[in-house]
Amino acid sequence: MAQPPGDLKQIIAKTLEHYSERAEQFWEGTRDHDVKQNIEALLRHIRGTPPFRILDFGCGPGRDLMAFKALGHAPIGLEGSAPLAAMAREHSGCEVWEQDFLALKLPAGHFDGIFANASLFHVPKQELPRVLGELHAALKPQGVLFSSNPRGHNEEGWNRGRYGAYHDLEAWRGFLEAAGFSELEHYYRPPGLPIEQQPWLASVWIR
């Protein structure tokens, strides 16, 4: 069932409010998370000569911006929460665009890679084709999109103050392929555990 525009605005506002009110807690709780596997999955598929121009989509307080910068790349953050965006600028020294996911203003053909780690699942299903199309357009030809989302059985709704859509692999593939992407690889996280203990679906796509 399609969400009216007013409901979409509320979904974004309440989800961002949840993160903004907990910005410091979020930084302390996630700053030491090991996502090296995900960063490497994006970088190894980008063609060309580094440094790469990378959009950290939903950059939060800047942990992964710092990692990309330390590797010699040119990351730019995108974050809808003003407190998190400010923290990301402070922590990383990188440019951070304050935009919510349903009102993107991205330059066309600009990025070698887009790193969407634990962010795209906040986009309601009905808006996902449009948002993925905008990310596709923001990539250079042969540009690469990485995404990691908590997986589910294609349900969506509120979960502890945040709105989320929880896709299985086949449904996620359908959305990405319809947006013009081709799959490069996928895997489940955390590594080294039985699949029932791997709640995260990571996937890599080329424009």
pTM for this model (two decimals): 0.94
The whole-number pLDDT of residue 34 equals 78
Terminal CA-CA length for the chain = 30
The whole-number pLDDT of residue 31 equals 65
The whole-number pLDDT of residue 138 equals 98
Residue range 5-206, CATH number: 3.40.50.150
The whole-number pLDDT of residue 167 equals 98
The whole-number pLDDT of residue 23 equals 77
The whole-number pLDDT of residue 26 equals 63
Listed by start position, the domains of the chain span 5-206
From residue 110, alpha-carbon distances to 47, 52, 91, 130 in Å are: 14, 11, 24, 18
The whole-number pLDDT of residue 24 equals 79
The two three-digit tokens of residue 68, written as one number: 């990309």
Name residues of the chain where pLDDT drops below 50.
Answer: none
